Every structure is written in C-alpha cells, then in structure tokens.
C-alpha cells in the first residue's frame, strides 16, 4: 500500500498529478506547473532519489506542496493507491512511457504487454480515479503525452506506435464522454524531443533525423512542458484534440 500525506495540500490551490516526472518531459512539466503555482503529485517507477530531490527543490523554489510517489503506472493497484486519498484534482498529465526498438518478430509477449500497460493502460487506470474527482468539481483537465508515431506509425517501433495510437483514440473518445461535464481531454503528439528516450540513436542517426525536420533541430522538454501548461489553461471549448509538436516533421 502506497503511503502518502495528502493533507499537506492546500484545498484552495490547484493540484496536478504528473506521471513519469523524474526526468525528461515529465520533469520539465513538473517544473513548469510548479512555476505557475500548481501543487504537485509526482510519480516515477524507479528513480525515487531523483524524484524526491526534484520535489524538494520545487517546494523550496516555488513555495508549493510537491509530493513524490513511487508507482508503476502499468500496475492498476499501484495507480489506485497513489490516488485514493486525493482531496481534489484539477489537472492530470499522463506522461509515463517506455519505448522498444526492434523487429516485431523479435518482440516477446511480455514486452508487448509491458509497453501497452505502461503507455496506454495507465491512462485508463489514472482516469478511472481522476474523473470522479473532476466530476465533483464539474471541471478538470486531462493531458496525455503522445507521439507522432501514434499518428503515422514507426518501423521497428510497432508496440510503441500502437500504444500511442491507442492513447490518441482514448483521448478523443474520453473527451466526448466528459465534455458535458466541463472536463477537457487533449493530447500532445511529440516529435523527436531531446530526452534520454532517444539515447539509443547514434550521432549519425541523430544528424540524419535533424535533416528531415524542417525546424532543423530536436524539440526540448521545456517546449513540451510549456504546451502542456497552455492546454491546462486553454479555453474550455478546446477538447478532444491531438496537437502535434514536431517542428514540421510529420
């Protein structure tokens, strides 16, 4: 059972739940939301030392409450336990994700399940518990961090592409379901962002990729985070959208 002290949250201030927040895009989103005055519940599956340090730094710098929680987002029970005692929830950011590069014929069933559970099933798990809290307030924002591969697919990344394509459809369907309740659901389909997830690419491969991108560079986690905050503060009429941020690539 995950133990958390949610009594530390100030009921007068907005709360954001951000999964996969120890590094990369999730870490940048945490910093950006903290700077905007959000209280934070941050999760990661393994890097608790990094996440705990980040939470302490954000509390000191922005004078907000920031609670780090270790939870495998592909495990329903752990997600449930991380959200059970939340007093309210204004923004949910489903950012946790993993990738796998390789031939489909070499992909093992357990690897497939791990990718789908972490990237897609996790959205169901978090939303199942977030939506009732948002319905009570008749407001809320759900932001899913997707990928251009969910739009167009990627060779050698079939499972990842399938999980992000599922996330995109999940986003559109849930947005229609929740629109009458004033809860907005949108996704950001990221192109190549300069994070550790792309560390497997050689310098030569990275240079070739940059040549294909009209913006002639990779995106930054800070740019993705800025867009996530914009979605959290966007007009209520903006919902059910998959917003592609890829420097004009796809």
Tell me the per-residue pLDDT of 68-96, one tens digit each, with 9 for 90 and over. Answer: 999 999 999 999 999 998 999 999 999 99
Query: Would the pLDDT of 234 be above 70?
Result: yes
Beta carbons within 8 Å of 222's beta carbon, 6+ residues apart: 28, 32
In this prediction, residue 89 carries a pLDDT of 97
Q: Which two tokens stand for residue 91?
A: 């923004």
Class of domain 11-245: alpha beta
Q: Could you read off the pLDDT of 147-182 as tens digits, one per residue?
A: 999 999 999 999 999 999 999 999 999 999 999 999
Separation of alpha carbons 34 and 143, rounded Å: 16
For the cut 60, the answer to whether the pLDDT of residue 66 exceeds it is yes
- The three-class DSSP label of residue 151 is helix
In this prediction, residue 198 carries a pLDDT of 76
Q: CB-based contacts of 154: which residues, under 8 Å, 6+ apart?
A: 160, 161
Instruction: Using alpha carbons, list the distances in angstroms from residue 140 to 29, 136, 239.
Output: 17, 10, 11
Confidence of residue 23 (pLDDT cuts 50, 70, 90): very high
Neighbours of 95 (CB within 10 A): 26
Residue positions annotated with a catalytic role: 160
| Model pTM score | 0.95
């Amino acid at each position: 059972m995950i133990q958390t002290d949610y009594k530390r949250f100030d009921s007068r201030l907005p709360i954001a739940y951000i999964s996969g927040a120890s590094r990369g895009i999730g870490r940048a989103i945490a910093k950006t939301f903290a700077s905007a005055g959000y209280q934070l519940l941050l999760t990661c599956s393994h890097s608790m030392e990094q996440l705990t340090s980040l939470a302490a730094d954000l509390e000191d710098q922005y004078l907000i409450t920031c609670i780090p929680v270790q939870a495998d987002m592909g495990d329903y029970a752990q997600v449930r336990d991380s959200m059970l005692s939340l007093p309210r929830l204004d923004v949910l950011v489903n950012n946790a994700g993993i990738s796998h590069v390789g031939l489909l014929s070499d992909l093992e069933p357990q690897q497939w399940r791990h990718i789908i559970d972490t990237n897609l099933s996790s959205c169901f798990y978090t939303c199942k518990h977030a939506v009732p809290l948002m319905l009570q307030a008749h407001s809320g924002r759900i932001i899913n961090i997707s990928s251009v591969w969910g739009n167009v697919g990627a060779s050698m990344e079939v499972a990842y592409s399938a999980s992000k394509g599922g996330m995109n459809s999940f986003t559109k369907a849930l947005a229609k379901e929740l629109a009458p309740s004033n809860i907005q659901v949108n996704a950001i389909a990221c192109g190549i962002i300069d994070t550790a997830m792309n560390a497997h690419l050689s310098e030569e491969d990275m240079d070739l990729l940059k040549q294909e991108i009209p913006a002639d560079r990779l995106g930054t986690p800070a740019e993705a985070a800025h867009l996530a905050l914009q979605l959290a503060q966007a007009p209520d009429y903006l919902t059910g959208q998959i917003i592609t941020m890829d420097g004009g690539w796809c």
